[in-house]
A and B are shown apart, each in its own frame.
With several copies, the nearest count.
Chain A
Amino acid sequence: MSFTLAEGLNQALHDAMSADERVIVFGEDVGQLGGVFRITAGLQAEFGNRRCFDTPLAESGIVGTAVGFAMNGFRPVVEIQFDGFMFPAFDQIVSHVAKYHSRTDGAVRVPIVIRIPYGGGIGAVEHHSESPETYFVHTAGLRVVTPGTPEDAYGLLRAAIESDDPVIFLEPKRRYYEKSDGDLPTSSAEFTKAAYRTRGETATIATYGPTVRTCLEAARVAKEEGWSLEVVDLRTLSPLDIGTVVESVERTGRLVVVHEASGTLGMGAEVAALVQERAFYSLEAPVQRVAGFDIPYPAALLEEHHLPSIDRILDAVERTLEY
């Protein structure tokens, strides 16, 4: 048996809809087409067009109506077609999805999952390769989750749908077809814990989503150089399980944070700020960040320069070692 990250997501939606009839799925082209990445394939056929349906072309509408559905007893799982098209919905996300529960002192729950394929590396045209996690993580009232493996794709999506809080679910689109050799999981994964993907002593690499695999590859290459890297997959970006990172850094003394989003106020900034605060005397060298440049996401022929590469990650490790 093996399954892809995309299949994990599709199965998770399927199982969540079977388990709870309040779960509904909507967004642009998610019905008959099954979504442009086919993550919702088969759901309309199986559950009917009141449980999985197409919306008109308007993202604020998708999220804003989801708030109403949620207030009225449903558990909407909505799809934003691409990262770059999340922005028209941003007001609804910040002003209502994130605030309604606290606004009403807990009277109104908004168990909405907003699925967003994100990140680059697929040779796409403009606006199809954004990494918007900072916008959500900085916004109080949202949970932000991103799977780095096919198992987590299933388990974290189930957990997100089961959560009574709003969840931004970021799907690393360039890893949709990444395979796992195991069996599909059948239950939700633990929601708020980071995970060690490899163990090691030379340095800690903290990452998430699409670059989990890049970092694992870097760790393999590093082995040849005699380094053993400990790769921490953050999994949940908000709230952040910084404890796991700190625990690792206390052993390795060195930390590199890796992500595609622009470096300035990317996740690496928060991880670095927390780690220098909590593991000040453990750090042998400053926390290094390997992130996208502070530039608009480049066109396809140039994106390779922007994305964290194995070499760039290993260079950063080296900087921590030579410091």
Chain B
Amino acid sequence: MNADPNVLLPTAEPISFLSPDGTLSPDTPHIGLSDADLVGMYRDMVRTRTLDTLAVSLQRQGQLGVWASCRGQEGAQVGCAKALSPDDWVFPGYRDHGVTLVRGVPFPNVLKQYKGVWHGCYNPYDHKVASHSIPISTQLLHATGFATASKFRGELNAVITFTGEGGTSEGDFHEAVNYAAVYQAPVVFFIQNNQFAISLPRAHQNAAPTIAHKGVGYGAQGYLVDGNDIIATYFVTKAALDRAKSGLGPSIIEALTYRMQPHTTADDDTRYRTREEIEAWAEKGPILRFERFLRSRDLLDDALEARIREEATEEANLVREELINAIAPPVERLFDAVFTEPTEQLSAQKRFLLHEMGEVEA
């Protein structure tokens, strides 16, 4: 503990290898991604974008109550998710659709949560992905506890958890990072700084030089990365995970990115930001940039791109179908899911409801 403060501070400039025009910096370290990996990253960004777009339209059609779009953040989300090992765990927020997609959580199940089928529509143990957390940053503490538990059992996995630059203002963020540093827990706090918390611009969220500068105050490693550069994001996340797995404790990664859509479908972002700002960021978007890079390396051509997009669209059609047909579980679950064993009180309330619905005698 009490590590050298200079080492814990982030770099002065964000770590970035891929410029917006798709050129890879000559200083890029060896990253160890095969051509297939690279194309796979592209594919998952396209899938994320396509499914996210589907979700927005499903919401407009009244199929979802609300949707929090991750458009523009695919580089950060797919990049970091690709750095995970199968045994690693994920504790996501409500906008981390690219992450859960890469981890294999079926997208219809994510959508069902926004349709209101049930609050958590996938089993966290299936894909090692906790239920998305809506109360901001509360899940960070779960991640710290989970990671510490793994460490205590001598397991070699790590945990990654997500919040926004807004979420770093919550007390739970502070407690989670502090506990993690004290326990030297193998956990990575991945902060997508998408410049806004609903309407609040980052500059009013905190006055820190960067969010990555918060690390040193806990004895955690701070990393500042260009979150729209999927290669840099992958690289930095891998480094932080390796660090965690070697017993060196937690890191805070600040991934600079931009929320291209309103906060949710219920939001009106024209009240607080300009079209020009959004367009300027679109130019720096993660998919376009990576596409250019892949093309420059001859890893992508029109045909492959078309196929990838087509497959994503087909996937979206299936997802759409499943979502539209999704219905709520039987009302009994409302009562039976509360405790691990039924209580008299809840059984009586269940009978009351079923009776009211005409399904049982009083």
Distance of A91 Cα from B146 Cα, bound (Å): 19
Determine whether the beta carbon of B141 is less than 8 Å from that of A67.
yes
Closest-by-CB residue of A relative to B94 is: A125
Check if A220 is an interface residue, CB within 8 A of chain B. Answer: no
Determine whether the beta carbon of A100 is less than 8 Å from that of B131.
yes
Find chain B residues with CB under 8 A from A106 CB.
336-337, 340
Interchain nearest-CB distance for A160 vs B (Å): 13
Looking at the complex, which one of A32, A68, A74, A95 makes contact with B144 (CB distance below 8 Å)? A68
Segment of A169-177, A279-287, A299-307 in the binding face: A299-307
Distance of A182 Cα from B349 Cα, bound (Å): 40
Closest-by-CB residue of B relative to A59 is: B170
Interchain nearest-CB distance for A203 vs B (Å): 19
Check if B277 is an interface residue, CB within 8 A of chain A. Answer: no
Find chain A residues with CB under 8 A from B182 CB.
56
Looking at the complex, which one of A29, A109, A123 makes contact with B116 (CB distance below 8 Å)? A123
Interchain nearest-CB distance for A243 vs B (Å): 8
Determine whether the beta carbon of A61 is less than 8 Å from that of B337.
no
* 8 A Cβ contacts from B130-144 to A: 130-131, 133-136, 138, 140-144
Find chain A residues with CB under 8 A from B291 CB.
none
Distance of A127 Cα from B66 Cα, bound (Å): 14
Looking at the complex, which one of B134, B142, B204 makes contact with A67 (CB distance below 8 Å)? B142
* 8 A Cβ contacts from A124-162 to B: 124-128, 140-141, 143
Determine whether the beta carbon of B120 is less than 8 Å from that of A103.
yes
Determine whether the beta carbon of A300 is less than 8 Å from that of B138.
no
Interchain nearest-CB distance for B362 vs A (Å): 11
Looking at the complex, which one of B172, B327, B339 makes contact with A60 (CB distance below 8 Å)? B172
Segment of B37-45, B72-80, B193-201, B295-303 in the binding face: B193-201
Distance of A102 Cα from B340 Cα, bound (Å): 9
Check if B100 is an interface residue, CB within 8 A of chain A. Answer: no
Segment of B15-23, B148-156, B226-234 in the binding face: B148-156
Determine whether the beta carbon of A312 is less than 8 Å from that of B65.
no
Size of interface on A: residues with Cβ below 8 Å to B: 77
Check if B281 is an interface residue, CB within 8 A of chain A. Answer: no
Distance of A240 Cα from B343 Cα, bound (Å): 10
Q: A61-B169, A92-B138, A104-B131 are in contact. Are A294 and B349 (CB under 8 A)?
A: yes
Q: Which of B153, B178, B198, B334 has the most CB of A within 10 A?
A: B334
Size of interface on B: residues with Cβ below 8 Å to A: 79
Interchain nearest-CB distance for B137 vs A (Å): 8
Closest-by-CB residue of A relative to B114 is: A125
Determine whether the beta carbon of A56 is less than 8 Å from that of B141.
no
Find chain B residues with CB under 8 A from A102 CB.
119, 334, 337-338
Determine whether the beta carbon of B204 is less than 8 Å from that of A72.
no
Find chain A residues with CB under 8 A from B131 CB.
100, 103-104, 108
* 8 A Cβ contacts from A189-227 to B: 192
Determine whether the beta carbon of B340 is less than 8 Å from that of A109.
yes
Determine whether the beta carbon of B344 is less than 8 Å from that of A58.
no
Determine whether the beta carbon of B170 is less than 8 Å from that of A88.
yes
Q: A64-B175, A68-B146, A104-B124 are in contact. Are A293 and B353 (CB under 8 A)?
A: yes
Determine whether the beta carbon of B124 is less than 8 Å from that of A295.
no
Determine whether the beta carbon of A124 is less than 8 Å from that of B340.
no
Q: A56-B204, A68-B143, A301-B327 are in contact. Are A293 and B116 (CB under 8 A)?
A: no
Determine whether the beta carbon of A294 is less than 8 Å from that of B144.
no
Distance of A101 Cα from B341 Cα, bound (Å): 11
Determine whether the beta carbon of A105 is less than 8 Å from that of B120.
yes
Looking at the complex, which one of A33, A60, A92, A143 makes contact with B272 (CB distance below 8 Å)? A33
Looking at the complex, which one of B119, B123, B205, B346 makes contact with A56 (CB distance below 8 Å)? B205
Check if B61 is an interface residue, CB within 8 A of chain A. Answer: no
Q: A29-B200, A65-B144, A95-B138 are in contact. Are A58 and B171 (CB under 8 A)?
A: yes
Check if B328 is an interface residue, CB within 8 A of chain A. Answer: yes
Determine whether the beta carbon of A125 is less than 8 Å from that of B179.
no
Q: A61-B176, A300-B116 are in contact. Are A96 and B145 (CB under 8 A)?
A: no
Distance of A305 Cα from B117 Cα, bound (Å): 13
Find chain A residues with CB under 8 A from B66 CB.
124-125
Distance of A176 Cα from B343 Cα, bound (Å): 30
Closest-by-CB residue of B relative to A309 is: B356
Distance of A140 Cα from B345 Cα, bound (Å): 11
Interchain nearest-CB distance for A267 vs B (Å): 15
Distance of A33 Cα from B153 Cα, bound (Å): 25
Closest-by-CB residue of A relative to B175 is: A61
Determine whether the beta carbon of B339 is less than 8 Å from that of A143.
yes
Q: A33-B271, A68-B143, A72-B145 are in contact. Are A298 and B334 (CB under 8 A)?
A: yes
Find chain B residues with CB under 8 A from A96 CB.
133, 135, 138, 142
Check if A79 is an interface residue, CB within 8 A of chain B. Answer: no
Interchain nearest-CB distance for A53 vs B (Å): 9
Find chain B residues with CB under 8 A from A55 CB.
179
* 8 A Cβ contacts from B236-288 to A: 266-268, 271-272
Find chain A residues with CB under 8 A from B353 CB.
293, 305
Closest-by-CB residue of B relative to A85 is: B135
Looking at the complex, which one of A32, A36, A127, A140 makes contact with B338 (CB distance below 8 Å)? A140
Closest-by-CB residue of A relative to B349 is: A293
Distance of A108 Cα from B130 Cα, bound (Å): 9
Find chain B residues with CB under 8 A from A296 CB.
119, 338
Q: Can you name 18 A-B residue pairings with CB atoms under 8 Å?
A: A32-B199, A36-B198, A61-B176, A61-B179, A64-B175, A68-B141, A92-B138, A95-B135, A101-B339, A102-B334, A103-B120, A106-B337, A125-B113, A127-B135, A164-B340, A239-B345, A264-B345, A295-B346
Given contacts A65-B141, A101-B337, A192-B344, 10 further A-B contacts (CB under 8 A): A54-B199, A58-B170, A92-B172, A96-B142, A107-B124, A107-B125, A123-B65, A125-B119, A293-B334, A294-B349
Closest 7 CB pairs of A and B: A300-B116, A68-B145, A64-B141, A65-B145, A72-B149, A68-B146, A61-B175
